[in-house]
Amino acid sequence: MASSLTKGAAEQEKTSPGGGGKTFFGHPRGLAPLFLTEMWERFSYYGMRALLVVYLIAGGPDAKPDSQGGGLAMPEASSVAIYSAYVGMVYLLAMPGGWFGDRVWGPRKTVAIAAGIIMAGHLALAVPGKPTFFFGLALVAIGSGLLKANISTMVGHLYDGPQDPRRDGGFTIFYIGVNIGAFAAPLVIGTVGQKVNWHLGFSIAALGMGLGLIIFLLGTRHLSPTSSVVPKPLTAAERKSTIVKALMWFAVAAAFYGVVAGTGHFSQKWATIPLALLGVVIPITVLTRIKRDKELSASEQTKVSGYIWFFVAAAVFWMIFDQAGSTMSTFAEKKTADNVFGIDFPSTWFQSVNPLWVMAIAPVFASMWLWLARRDREPSTTVKFSMAMVGIGASFFVFAIPMAMATDGTKVTPAWLLMIYGIQTMGELCLSPVGLSLTTKMAPQKYASQMMGVWFLAVTAGDCTMTLLSESGVDLNGIGVILGQAAAATLAGLAVWMYRKKIEALMGDVR
């Protein structure tokens, strides 16, 4: 019996996409280059993200100028607005990134081009000066958006369809690569950037992405041939129409900003506010278009109505969660002790705490859900979302305590941030993987592929809301604002719980 099973598994490996005899932890060999490419891409992304806000606020009258490795000495509010808009754009651009993979270049070529754009962006960040900084930031956002949607698609191509028993395990291994990169990046890039030279830190991020690109190119022979195929290539007429529309919008934007700059009125807000408005309007528009699509069946229409509840809850969740790299980052830099047991460390190290928590407790959560499921006591999706919302709200209620302690200039113990990140990670594990699974289950057939991009738009909506708040003069570092966000998230979680039966009725057969 054992030998027949082994033989069957071997035959499956030989005939599966991306197979070829040798395996990567029992999975198609092509998973290895994708795992390493994503790991290095996340290393570069989270390393740069860890430096972003502290680099923007670093500097002052007595600090080194940026040309000598100093920071940009920007106000905290402006730094938070830039950070939130940047993160929002990364997730917003995942949708056109997927479109390029489906209609123009195919997933494999799109990922290779994206990696090159990301590397160029980090190299631009490594050159001192505001113009190169914002140019580099834009390149990294564009490249990350192109890569994000397509590399996950290529992981799916390695398996024999959704029913392949190895598929979920393959994505789990792939997700481990994400967290390894996210954990290591602040420790390496953050330390070099803060302790040695900011731009050397950005250069290491470029080196990381360069390594990822080399590994990807060398490993393409192990990938499924499907990853090179353009699933639905543009017709000649569509290509012409797309180019004309793109050039038209570019010309309008260039003319508008040319007038603004020429009259001396240009400021940061002319860049961040329009981007943030797009990040809020586009998700609403996309969901409205799907909801009003008359081709959807009555059942699909009902599920979309139910999905909107989860989308709004997720947007509120990410609005708070992503402040780990902005509001909490500035608190770590200015108001948290940077010495434990006589060991000094840079504030960017705190950005490694969340992926460390994920790797530590994700297996616990997975086992707990299975244990409860066997006893028919596993919480429903709505209850898990409610738990996530209450958890993220609770984290900011706790955050208000060290904020109050530090108002007189006292630096608080790092234990506070470790605890807050731990609470947020538990909320993340109740919402993020559950939301991904829910999206695939509730997606109308017509929008099966696009709905994953819609899920990422919840991140965009949450982060761009923070940009609008910051640019409108709201002090996101104020205790009252922190408590207000905590209350809003908690109330949203309680609302989901109170209306769970109504939401579950809209979900139909999905649980």
Q: Is the dihedral of CA 152, 156, 162, 163 positive or negative?
A: negative
Confidence (pLDDT) at 343:
83
Question: Which amino acid does the sequence have at 192?
Answer: V
- Sign of CA pseudo-dihedral 202, 204, 208, 211: positive
Angle at 466 between CA 399 and CA 452, to 5 degrees: 105
Q: Tell me the CA distances in angstroms from 150 to 172, 232, 476, one per residue in order.
A: 17, 14, 34
Residue 474's alpha-carbon distances to 57, 110, 289, in angstroms, are 18, 39, 32
Reading the chain (511 residues) residue by residue, the pLDDT tens digits are 444 433 334 444 444 555 455 777 788 999 999 999 999 999 999 999 999 999 999 875 445 556 556 788 898 889 999 999 999 999 999 888 888 988 899 999 999 999 999 999 999 999 998 899 999 999 999 999 999 878 988 888 898 876 777 877 788 788 888 899 999 999 999 999 999 999 999 999 999 999 999 999 999 999 999 999 988 899 999 999 999 999 999 999 999 889 988 888 888 888 899 999 999 999 999 999 999 999 899 999 999 999 999 999 999 999 999 999 999 999 999 999 988 877 889 999 999 999 999 999 988 988 898 898 889 898 998 999 999 999 999 999 999 999 999 988 889 999 999 999 999 999 999 998 888 778 878 888 888 667 878 888 999 999 999 999 999 889 888 999 999 999 999 999 999 999 999 998 988 877 6
Q: Is the pTM of this model over 0.95?
A: no
* pLDDT value of position 508: 80
Rounded CA-CA distance 492/391 in Å is 11
Residue 115 token pair? 């990696």
What pLDDT is recorded for position 115?
Answer: 96
Identity of the residue numbered 69: G
CA distance 125 to 59: 17
